[in-house]
Amino acid sequence: MDADWDLFAVVRSCKSTVNKAASSGEPSNRPSKGNTSGCNCLASLKLEQNYDPFTFRSMSRASLEDSRQPVLKQPDPTTMGTDRGKNPIILSPGGGGASGQHQQQQRPPNPKRPRQRVQQRGVPKTRRRRNKNMNRTVVSHVTDENSCSDQWTWRKYGRKTIKGTSYLRHYYKCSSSIGCSARKHVTLSNSEPGTYIVTYTDDHTHSMPDSRKSRAGGSRRNKLPNADNNASSSSSSFISPTAPPPAPEVGATATNVQNAGDNGAKEGENVNIVALENDDGEDIFMIPNAQVYDYLFEGLGELVHGAGSGSGSGIGLGHNWPAFGGNLSSWGSSMSGSSAGSTAGRG
DNA sequence: CGCGTTTGACCTGCGC
DNA sequence: GCGCAGGTCAAACGCG
C-alpha cells in the first residue's frame, strides 16, 4: 500500500510544476477508473537501441507477435468479454517475425477438446483477481524491437482479449522458482502500436536465477528464427525490472526511473515510455515520447534511494517494488551477478 | 520426461 | 442480483 502510493506520489511530484507531490496521505490515491487526469505528468523516454530494460527472453516472440494481432478489429458485442466459443487467434506465420514458430501454432484447429473441470464449482479456489491486496503492480512499456525477455523464467498461463485494446493480453507466471508468485502480463499497447505494456504483479520470492535452467522454453527460444534478430540483445543486454541493467546509460522506463534520475537519462533525453499503475492496475499515467529532465527525477532519486534505506518516512519506492525483485534501490548496483541458482521449473 | 504453450472453461471483482 | 470483463486453471499438446 505504501509503495503504491509512493509511486503515485512520485508521479505526482513529477508533475513538479503542478507541485503537490506526496504532500500528504495522498487522499485521492486511487482515482476512480479512468480518472488518470490527476497525473498527466510523465516523462517518457526513448530507449537506447541497445538498452532494453524489458526484454523477455523467456517469452517466445511468437507469443508476443501473437498479441500484435488485433484480436477484435471490430468488437463483436455478442461475443465480447470472453473468448468462449471464439475462434482462436490465427497467427499468420508468414506475416512478420512470428513466422516459423515451432510449436503449437501449427497445431490443428483443435477439435474442442473435451474438458471436464470436475470439482470446480464449490471449491474455494485461491484464484484471485488483481485487487488491492495484491502487491503493487508496475507497468512498463517496451518497444517491440526490444523483444521481450528477462532473466526470469516466465511461464505463460493464459491469454485474454482485452476489451478496448483489441489485442491479446498474455499472462505469465514466474517459473524460475516454485512457489514464486511473481506474475506479469503483456499487452500490446493500443495507443502505441509496437509498444508492449508489461505489468508486473507480486514479487519474486527468490533471487534472480543465474542462468536459465529451464530446458524447454529456453532452448527452444534460442532457436527461434527471430531469436537471431534479438540474439545479440538477449544475450548481451537483457535488462528488466527484475534484472537490473548492467550499466544504464541512457534510457529508462518506469522501472529504471531510478537510473534515469541518477545517471540514466540525461536531461532532455528521450526515454521510452513511463507508465505506472496503482495497485488496482489502473494506469496512473503514461507519457510517450516525452522527455526526461533532471528536475523530474530529482525527487525520484531521493525517493528511490532514500526509501531504500528504510527511511520509513514516507514516500519511497526504494524497497519492495515487486518488479524489481523487491528492492529497487539496490537495483543499479546488484546486477544479475548473483547466482542463487534457479530452480527453474517444477519437479 | 520435463517444461512451455495453447486455449476453453471457470472464477471473481465490479459496475449497473 | 445480474452480467460483463479480467484473471486463472488445467488438459492437451509440442518440442528438446
What cell does A163 get? 476489451
For residue range A240-250, list pLDDT tens digits in order. 333 333 333 33
CB of A162 lies under 7 Å from some atom of strand C: yes
For chain A, the average pLDDT equals 45
**Coil, helix or strand for A211?**
coil
Torsion angle of alpha carbons A320, A321, A325, A329, nearest 10°?
A: -80
Higher-scoring residue by pLDDT: A225, A202: A202
Rounded to an integer, what distance in angstroms lies between the CA atom of residue A291 and that of residue A271?
Answer: 7
Which pLDDT does position A101 carry in this prediction?
A: 33
- The alpha carbon of residue A9 and the mean position of all alpha carbons in its chain are separated, in whole angstroms, by 20
pLDDT > 90 fraction of chain A, expressed in percent and rounded: 0
Q: pLDDT-based confidence at A172, cuts 50/70/90?
A: confident
The average pLDDT across A176-184 equals 74
Count the neighbouring beta carbons within 10 Å of the beta carbon of residue A207: 18
Q: Protein footprint on strand B: which nucleotides are under 7 Å from a CB? A: 2-15
pTM of the model: 0.50
Q: Is the CB of A117 under 7 A from strand B?
A: yes
Q: A90 burial class (0-12, 13-18, 19+ CB within 10 angstroms)?
A: exposed
Q: What's the pLDDT at A102?
A: 36
Coil, helix or strand for A106? helix
pLDDT, residue A84, reads 33
Q: What is the mean pLDDT of residues A134-141?
A: 58
Please state, for a pLDDT cut of 70, what percent of chain A lies above it: 12
Instruction: Name the range with the highest mean pLDDT among A56-70, A199-213, A269-283.
Output: A199-213
Using pLDDT thresholds of 50, 70 and 90, give the confidence band for residue A69.
low
Cell of residue A92, nine digits:
499468420
Residues of chain A (95-114) having a beta carbon less than 7 angstroms from strand C: 102-104, 106-107, 110, 113-114
Instruction: Give whole-number Cα distances, A146 to A39, A44, A225, A240, A302, in Å.
Output: 27, 16, 15, 11, 29
Strand C nucleotides with an atom less than 7 Å from a protein beta carbon: 4-16
Protein residue closest via CA to C1' of B10: A120
Please give the nucleotide, over all strands, whose C1' is closest to the CA of residue A84: B8
CA atoms of A13 and A297, how far apart (whole Å): 9
pLDDT higher than 70, residue A325: no
- Separation CA A227–CA A58 (nearest Å): 11
Q: Residues A125-134: what's their mean pLDDT? A: 45
**Confidence band (pLDDT; 50, 70, 90) for A119?**
very low
Nucleic acid strand C within 7 Å of A132 CB: no
> How many angstroms is C1' of B10 away from CA of A41?
39
Least confident range of A6-20, A62-76, A144-158, A174-188: A6-20
Per-residue pLDDT tens digits for A79-115 = 333 333 333 333 333 222 223 233 333 344 444 444 4
Residue A144 clears pLDDT 80, i.e. is over it: no
pLDDT at A339 over 60: no
User: Nine-digit cell at A252?
Assistant: 529508462
Per-residue confidence band for A68, with pLDDT thresholds at 50, 70 and 90 = low
pLDDT at A171 over 80: yes
Would you state the pLDDT for residue A72? 42
A174 Cβ contacts chain B strand, under 7 Å: no
Provide, in whole angstroms, the distance separating residue A280's CA from nucleotide B14's C1'.
Answer: 12
pLDDT given at position A116 = 47
| CA dihedral angle for residue A122, residue A123, residue A128, residue A129, rounded to 10 degrees | -30
Angle, vertex CA A281, rays to CA A198 and CA A300, nearest 5: 75
Residue A121, sorted as left (phi over 0), alpha (psi -120 to 50) or beta, turns out to be beta
The pLDDT of residue A10 is above 80: no
Q: Which residues contact A84 (CB under 8 A, 6 or more apart)?
A: none
pLDDT at A162: 78
Separation in Å: B5 C1' and A211 CA: 21
Question: Does residue A220 lie within 7 Å of nucleic acid chain C, judged by its CB?
Answer: yes
For residue A320, what pLDDT band results from cuts at 50, 70 and 90? very low
Rounded CA–C1' distance between A127 and C1, in angstroms:
23
Query: CA triplet A144, A247, A49: central angle to 5 degrees?
Result: 30
Q: Output the pLDDT for position A143.
A: 60
CB of A160 within 7 Å of some strand B atom: yes
**What is the per-residue pLDDT across A273-305, written as a single tens digit (0 to 9) for each?**
444 444 444 444 444 443 433 333 333 333 334
The gap between A297 CA and B16 C1' (Å) is 41
Amino acid A266 CA to nucleotide B5 C1' distance, rounded Å = 41
